[in-house]
Amino acid sequence: MLKGKTALVTGASRGIGREIALTLAEHGANVAVFYAGNRDLAEEVCALAEQHGVSAKSFQCDVSSFEESKSAVEEALQCFGGIDILVNNAGITKDRLILQMTPEEFERVLDVNLKGAFYMTKHLFPHFMRKKSGKIVNVSSVSGLFGNIGQANYAASKAGLIALTKTTARELAGRGVCCNAVAPGFIDTDMTAAMPEAARKAALESVPLKRMGTPKEVAQVVAFLASDASSYITGEVIRIDGGLCM
Ligand code: NAP
């Protein structure tokens, strides 16, 4: 499905991003595995991806830094000779009620989740324009669609990411580039493992399918949006939430 393509996935060392990188590799794409600090885990993802007969290389990059992300993207472009698919997956939480949330906590989450995706898109924008093809998939969240108590920063960043998705889709449509978002609900990763047990239990009770989603269940939708199978879809947001927000 993606043979001969090259995908750049941010936050690919762990959780959903790792599974996205491996699933795209399984479908034949070479992968640029971007990570923030976990080099060993990123190397492990590269080794597993290569078992599918594709090329994979890790790149350290804090997406909230304009300069760092710019040079990492340039390095990846040089290494692979081009990028066909960008997946903006890197994300963090710093949950707290608005009453207690500090301006720094609010800003840091916006910097990584929203500015990071903007920087990555901006760095690859001229490349996609020249190529006149490409796929961008942004990993948002149901929090960005419906809000969530204790997640003012996170929900705002993920809602912003949806607006960024639609704007990117409009700006690049004339060049044959599609940009879409996925909005996962509760997915079993380090991020949700950090939730207090009571909050996890309450969250699961509100999911019609009565279980958490797996990173693979998100990755399969991302692979669809990264492939030609979704050629007439752009500016869309697909929920992957077991029915939570229907
Ligand atoms: P995770 O397990 O905590 O992994 C986060 C990933 O992001 C790691 O690869 C991490 O790299 C990377 N990262 C963190 N800060 C970064 C930075 N400043 N620059 C670059 N990379 C950075 O998270 P996850 O649960 O897989 O979530 C992945 C995405 O899905 C996020 O955008 C999240 O908001 C979204 N999402 C998750 C859920 C869920 O239930 N899990 C639900 C909805 C949406 P290192 O390993 O190097 O630190």
CA distance 40 to 58: 10
Choosing from 35, 119, 154, 232, the catalytic residue is: 154
Ligand 1 centroid–CA 11 distance in Å is 6
- To the nearest 10°, the Cα dihedral for 246, 224, 9, 144? -20
> What average pLDDT does the structure give for the chain?
97
List pLDDT tens digits, range 115-143: 999 999 999 999 999 999 999 999 999 99
Instruction: Express each pLDDT in 186-224 by its tens digit.
Output: 999 999 998 888 888 888 999 999 999 999 999 999 999
Taking Cα atoms as reference points, which of 136, 78, 92, 48 lies closest to residue 59?
78
* Residue 154 annotated among the catalytic residues of the structure: yes
- Count of positions (residues) in the chain: 246
Place of tokens 């959903």: 16
* Per-residue b or e along 221-245, where b marks 16 or more CB atoms closer than 10 Å to that residue's CB: bbbbbbbeebeeebbebbbbbbebe
Task: Please state, for a pLDDT cut of 70, what percent of the chain lies above it.
Answer: 100
Position in ligand 1 atom list of the atom nearest CA 14: 9
Q: Which residues contact 68 (CB under 8 A, 6 or more apart)?
A: 61, 62
Ligand 1 pocket member 242 (CB < 6 A) = no
Q: What is the pLDDT of residue 73?
A: 98
Residues in CB range of 90: below 8 A, 6 or more apart: 10, 11, 17, 34, 36, 63, 112, 113, 116
Give the integer Cα–Cα distance in Å for 22 and 3: 14
Q: Is the CB of 58 under 6 A from ligand 1?
A: no
Asked whether the CA dihedral 158, 117, 35, 227 is positive or negative, the reply is positive
